[in-house]
Amino acid sequence: MIRAVVAVAAALLLAFIIIPLAGLVLHLAPRDIVSALQTPAAQSALCLSLLTTVIALAITLTLGTPLAYILARAAFRGRSIVDAIVDLPIVVPPAVAGLALLLVFGRTGTFAPVLARLGIQLSFTTAAVVMAQVFVSSPFYVRAARAGFLNIDRTLESASATLGMGPLRTFYFVTVPLAAPALLGGAVLCWARALGEFGATIMFAGNLLGVSQTLPLAVYLNLEGGSMPVAIALSVIMIAFSAAVVIVVRLFERR
Amino acid sequence: MKSLQTMNRIRFCALMLATALVAPLPAGAADPAKITVFAAASLREAFEAAAPAFTKKTGTAVTFSFGGSDTLAAQLAQGAAADVFASANEAQMKKITDAGLAAGQPKTFARNRLVLIVPKSNPAGITNLPGLAKPGVKVVLAAAAVPVGGYARAAFKHQAGQPGYAPDYADAVEKNVVSNELDVKAVATKISIGEGDAGVVYSTDITPDIASKVTVIPFPPGASPDAIYPIAVLKNAPNSRDAQAFVGFVLGDGQAFLKARGFLAP
């Protein structure tokens, strides 16, 4: 009896996840998907999303790796607080993140005087899209990288130091390769989250074709006003990306 | 003893599950009457103010889903369950009637007027409609599919070439658009916090809070026809009787609440 209940419950949730995704993918014939993807709106959203997510990932890797390393290695007062802060964007609703970015980096925000002097306006720009993506996605990389650094056999690092390698070379030639599966897995998850970013983007970067209209925004906009096939085709692309991400992360985890 | 506990636990789980599966059906039928109204974002203040009066009069509770009329129409076309649809333009209502989703003819229950808003600080120095075409002005509009975004663009096209407006006026304004927001409230917000230099909203969106942060510039006479608000009971309404009552209320006693929020009579 209890077994059957467990099995039914499990099957229900699984079906609930599979059926809508499959329904979306099968809604259009492949030929229609391909032709919808060739529209300017779809092309622009694809290019913009790829460009911004790659830049966002590069920024996260550059700044997030040192942060993850410090969190894994350095003992300092308040580390658990820093840990918690790093994770915060995962649970903060994206629209709230967008509002926060707007109120700080916006034209009348906290940094407005500095930004105005430098002649920079961030809101409604592609830069704002990247900022929103970094904000919401960076924790996924930092968490994974921190765990990766924690799991390394530290005697190997000591050996490297004993053999005359400086700290930086040890880091690049010993620590990073050892933590590589975790770092890459985290990077892939981080990229996927950036790709799906919607709420903070619409709030902080707005919505303009070729400037801030990323894939998720294009799906929404085409769904309501433009073309349903374009919305569906772009959704299918995003599902394909997501499936690839899940598979890649699995591969890294297995190693 | 232990097995008894386990048995009890299993029975408890099974009972909970059974309750969870079965409970919603009779509870739903016995609930006090309620209706779900899909309404344009611009109607939020007026409808929220009117709802308690309707509930008091009829005993029917009203749940609203406010959004861009185009979003709501798309949701309804995809089978969202609602009793009433109140749109901010005829185009989105037409989608619903064309799809055979409306019960009977939609009725016009209000009209609205476009206004230009600029932040109180007016960073781009805009004093009239032609000012939107000046190079570098950051114009925030609702997306073209959102009624107010459609009305605004139609007005720009209408003005193009008139005295004081360049022949390519509409294109020049479109070039200045920095964001196509998802609904009219988002436009009002972006201008009120000074992110954009100018935006087009309905006169009814100038709530006291927004009014304290923006300067309102009326559209010139004839630039834009009034926005027409149609309302209809939906064919698949779970509660069509009370839905009819709500539409009747909006066309009758509810008019006072719409008028109080700056809507024009139908």
Q: Which residues of A touch B94 (CB under 8 A)?
A: none
B6 pLDDT above the threshold of 80: no
Mutate to test the interface with B, among A8, A44, A103, A107 (most CBs of B within 10 A): A107
Does residue B32 register a pLDDT over 90? no
Closest of B209, B190, B186 to residue B198, by C-alpha:
B190
Contact A207 B143 (CB under 8 A): yes
Residue among B10, B138, B186 minimizing CB distance to A124: B138
pLDDT of residue B21: 47
Q: What pLDDT is recorded for position B174? A: 96
Mean pLDDT, residues B187-203 taken together: 94
Has residue B225 got a pLDDT over 90? no
Q: Say which residues have a Cβ less than 8 Å from residue B99's Cβ, sequence separation at least 6.
A: B77
Q: Let me know: does B229 contact B87? Beta carbons within 8 Å.
A: yes
CB contact under 8 A, A207 and B178: no
Residues of B with CB under 8 A from a CB of A: 10, 13-14, 17, 68, 70-71, 73-74, 123, 138, 140, 143-146, 177-182, 186, 190, 193-196
Average pLDDT, chain A: 92
Q: Give mean pLDDT, residues A29-33.
A: 89
**Given this model, what pLDDT does residue B39 score?**
95
**Is residue A176 classed exposed, middle or buried when 0-12, 13-18 and 19+ CB atoms within 10 A define those classes?**
middle
pLDDT for B9 equals: 54
Could you read off the pLDDT of A231-249 as tens digits, one per residue?
Answer: 999 999 999 999 999 898 8
Would the pLDDT of B134 be above 60?
A: yes
Residue with tokens 């206004």, as numbered in its chain: B115
The interface predicted TM-score (ipTM) is 0.79
**pLDDT score of B2:** 45
Q: What is the mean pLDDT of residues A44-70?
A: 96
Q: What is the CA radius of gyration of chain A?
A: 21
- Determine the pLDDT at residue B11: 53
What integer pLDDT is reported at residue A65 of this predicted model? 95
CB of A144 closer than 8 Å to CB of A186: yes
Is residue A225 over pLDDT 90? Answer: no
Report whether A124 contacts A212 (CB < 8 A).
yes
Question: Which string of DSSP letters, residue by residue, matches A210-241?
Answer: TTT--HHHHHHHHHHTS-HHHHHHHHHHHHHH
Residue B17 has pLDDT above 90, yes or no: no
In this predicted structure, what is the pLDDT of residue A255? 64
Share of chain B above pLDDT 90, in %: 68
Q: What pLDDT sits at residue A3?
A: 93
What strands lie across the sheet with B227-234, from one edge to the other?
B61-67, B34-40, B84-86, B227-234, B102-112
Return the axis-axis angle of helices A40-73 and A228-254, rounded to nearest 10°. Answer: 30
**Range B14-36 average pLDDT:** 55
For residues A16-29, average pLDDT: 92
Q: How confident is the model at residue B145 (pLDDT cuts 50, 70, 90)?
A: confident
pLDDT at B8: 56
Helix (H) or strand (E) holding B234: strand B227-234
- When pLDDT is cut at 50, 70 and 90, the band that residue B10 belongs to is low
Chain A segment 200-229 residues within 8 A of B by beta carbon are: 202, 205-208, 211-212, 220-221, 223-226
At B24, is the pLDDT very low, low, confident or very high (cuts 50, 70, 90)?
very low
> Whole-prediction pTM value?
0.78
Is B153 a residue whose pLDDT tops 50? Answer: yes
pLDDT at B136: 93
Please check the confidence at residue A134 and state whether its pLDDT lies above 50.
yes
pLDDT tens digits, one per residue of A73-99: 988 899 999 999 999 999 999 989 999
